[in-house]
Structure 1
Amino acid sequence: MAKKIPSRSKSSMLTQEENRKDLGFGTKITSERVRLINKDGTFNVRRVGDSFLNSVNWYHRLIILGWRKFFGIIFLFYFLLNIVFACLYLFIGIEYLEGISNEHQQPAFWEAFFFSAQTLTTVGYGRISPTGFWANSVAGLEALIGLLLIALATGLFYGRFSRSVPRIRFSKNIVVAPYLDINGLMFRIIHERDNELIDLDVEMTLSCLDTLPSGAKIRKYYPLDLERDHVNFFPLNWTLVHPITEDSPLANATEKSLADADAEFLIMIRAIDETFMQQVHVRFSYHYEELLWGAKFEPMFDTSVQGDIAVRVSDIDRYQPASLNT
């Protein structure tokens, strides 16, 4: 009978590695004064060495792009595509576009351009019509492309309008303020849109550099427990507080120690958009340079409004000096 081999206990280093907190950035990012999350919530990561086709996702980019840039790209593409087809009609011969008249004193290029626009959008007023094999072939191809582009544009507009985008505004600074008989790390948020967010969950993590006995630096992540990390409704502003107790990673932190460790406070918010009944999430971060010591936020309620609970959104960044508890 084979002798049973006793199981070996895991080493302390392996257990420590398995229990290590990691948000997905790893421990090798040791560059100082480099944010992990940008102010707009995007990751401060740039992929290099990838192929062009893999790095470009036009549909995703057009979905998340701002409205000005989106319409700018749409109109530019529409204009350039009509120029291409107008040049094709001119190459075939303007005489193969029947109905063009010199009475309007319009250059042949613009006649071909506007005929292309009518064909691409399948409007077809009927004043100008193609004749001959090649002119009809180009017009038929353009009509097919126009139908496909209309279907694509419809999908893009639906995707943009059906995508729930929360507009949670964060206070410009994160502060260390007196809290009860201790101190607390605080920041404020408010939802700027009329649609309601429900079942909000907030996570906060401290990212900082740590020096090993060998002198090498690694990045570590410490979860920061919040006084309250969940609310059912979010109609007003919300001040989130991390109590700096003896067990807090910030228990002995100072302004200099956080600067030396290149500290960054990473925030993740999950909620449900009541209008779309979709789960949404928001990312944000504060760098150590945006941390104010000995400051507390001023109230945002407007007491001059009678009969309603009024909140001044513009006051989310207002604070005043405060003496910290020792």
Structure 2
Amino acid sequence: MAILRRKKSKLVEAEEKRSDLGFGTQITDPDTRLLNRDGSFNVKRIGGNFWGRYNIFNELIICSWKRFFTLIVAFYLVLNLIFACLYQAVGIENLQGVDLSTKGTGFMDAFFFSSQTLTTVGYGRIAPIGFGASTIAAIESLLGLLIFALATSLLYGRFSRPVARVLYSDKAVIAPYLDITGFMFRIVNEQDSQLIDLQVEVAVSMLKKQSDGKTVRRYYGLKLERSKVNFFPTNWTIVHPITDESPLFGLTQDDLLTSDAEFLVLLKATEDTYNQTVNSRTSFHAREVIVGAKFLPMFSDVAGAGVVTLDLRKLSDIQEIPLSSEYQPHQ
């Protein structure tokens, strides 16, 4: 029995072919960028369940070292204060060896006894007596074992997690390229660890007004001069040639600003030490694109050194240069 297939409408076919990176078409506020320079998505979720959207383990893995240790120390102090209050509640006198000359010294002894119990150090000067104090100490000892096991796994996860420490130039440029012009930005690997099989994808997001007068956001993939390199020991200037097939062809800087153009960048590579795939993201807004400039070399001339010297401080160094024809090939 033959199966009849309904012919798709032109609107459905057009919708299926529409390029969308996952942000949708409804974000049309010109003051809102899709991707922050640090690679984080500029999206805030509200209205959901806190525990449903917040992953504590993931947050502690990806946060900065400063924030990580601040949270660990704060948690350690608060937990010891809680147990010190519990010992105070059952009676400080149930901690044998506590200095009871003043309320302050007694509470501080309870606090430090809590820290010793939590870490299973147990110097022995203070010991719990009675059922209440002994029960609290037993619970705290068990909790301490679990907490330090978790802290150890967090430290291991942070040290063992490969991260692509790719630096991006502060600005992107529109510069002469061969006999035309090109959109360019520059990257470099900040770490001594090697990245291999590096691949890059670049797309541009722009606001477009439809025939019905409604403004929507459109996405266009940009063809690159080179989208993959096997090795990444030095810097790499990524170039999109602005040919007559480019979505940037014929656009001026004012056009880019009016259309709220944002260039979205995704890098994928294999980290050589752990042999794992890592990625890095960023974006360049139209305000961060300089028309009529080129990047200066990053190599430092060290005579007799016998090694290639790359100065990372020169990553964003540019020089103004006139364009023969703005965004256009030579006639």
TM-score w.r.t. the length of structure 2 is: 0.94
Matched with 2:155 is: 157
RMSD: 1.7
- 1:134-149 matches, cutoff 5 A: 134-149=132-147
Matched with 1:97 is: 95
Residue 7 of structure 1: how far off its partner (Å): 4.0
Residue 6 of structure 1: how far off its partner (Å): 5.8
Cα deviation, 1:149-182, whole Å, max 9, x if unaligned, reads: 0111111111111111111000000000000000
Provide the rounded CA distance (Å) in 1 between the counterparts of 2:77 and 2:3. Answer: 75
Where 1:228 maps in the other structure, the secondary structure is coil
1:54 aligned onto 2:17:
no
Residue 57 of structure 1: how far off its partner (Å): 1.4
Provide the rounded CA distance (Å) in 2 between the counterparts of 1:236 and 1:154. Answer: 36
Matched with 1:166 is: 164
Residue 12 of structure 1: how far off its partner (Å): 2.5
Provide the rounded CA distance (Å) in 2 between the counterparts of 1:207 and 1:223. Answer: 9
- 1:110-259 matches, cutoff 5 A: 110-259=108-257
Structure 1 segments of 4+ aligned residues over 6 angstroms from their partners: 102-106
Task: Check whether the contact 2:100–2:106 (CA below 8 A) recurs between aligned residues.
Answer: no
Where 1:204 maps in the other structure, the secondary structure is strand
Residue 324 of structure 1: how far off its partner (Å): 1.1
Q: What is the aligned counterpart of 1:300 among 298, 312, 329? A: 298
Provide the rounded CA distance (Å) in 2 between the counterparts of 1:210 and 1:157. Answer: 47
1:325 aligned onto 2:324:
yes
Matched with 1:25 is: 23
AA aligned opposite 1:24: G
Provide the rounded CA distance (Å) in 1 between the counterparts of 2:51 and 2:103. Answer: 45
Provide the rounded CA distance (Å) in 2 between the counterparts of 1:178 and 1:210. Answer: 27
Q: CA separation of 1:272/1:104 partners in 2, compared to 1, >3 Å: closer, same or farther?
A: farther
Provide the rounded CA distance (Å) in 2 between the counterparts of 1:292 and 1:313. Answer: 20
Provide the rounded CA distance (Å) in 2 between the counterparts of 1:238 and 1:179. Answer: 15
AA aligned opposite 2:260: D
Where 2:93 maps in the other structure, the secondary structure is helix
Q: What is the aligned counterpart of 1:75 among 69, 73, 76? A: 73
Cα deviation, 1:235-254, whole Å, max 9, x if unaligned, reads: 10000000000111111111
Provide the rounded CA distance (Å) in 2 between the counterparts of 1:164 and 1:95. Answer: 51
Task: Check whether the contact 2:167–2:187 (CA below 8 A) recurs between aligned residues.
Answer: yes
Residue 9 of structure 1: how far off its partner (Å): 3.6
TM-score w.r.t. the length of structure 1 is: 0.96
Cα deviation, 1:259-302, whole Å, max 9, x if unaligned, reads: 11100000000001001111001110000000100000011110
Task: Check whether the contact 2:99–2:105 (CA below 8 A) recurs between aligned residues.
Answer: no
Identity %: 49
Residue 126 of structure 1: how far off its partner (Å): 1.1
AA aligned opposite 1:257: D
Matched with 1:277 is: 275
Unaligned runs of 5+ residues in structure 2 are: 326-331
Matched with 1:310 is: 309
AA aligned opposite 2:323: L
Q: CA separation of 1:47/1:105 partners in 2, compared to 1, >3 Å: closer, same or farther?
A: closer
Provide the rounded CA distance (Å) in 2 between the counterparts of 1:252 and 1:13. Answer: 28
| Most deviating of 5-14 and 125-134 | 5-14
Q: How many residues align?
A: 324
AA aligned opposite 1:158: Y
Unaligned runs of 5+ residues in structure 1 are: none
AA aligned opposite 1:150: F
Residue 54 of structure 1: how far off its partner (Å): 1.3
| Most deviating of 223-232 and 88-97 | 88-97
AA aligned opposite 2:317: R
AA aligned opposite 2:301: T
Matched with 1:107 is: 105
Matched with 1:34 is: 32
Cα deviation, 1:206-232, whole Å, max 9, x if unaligned, reads: 100110011001111000000000000
AA aligned opposite 1:289: R
AA aligned opposite 1:205: A
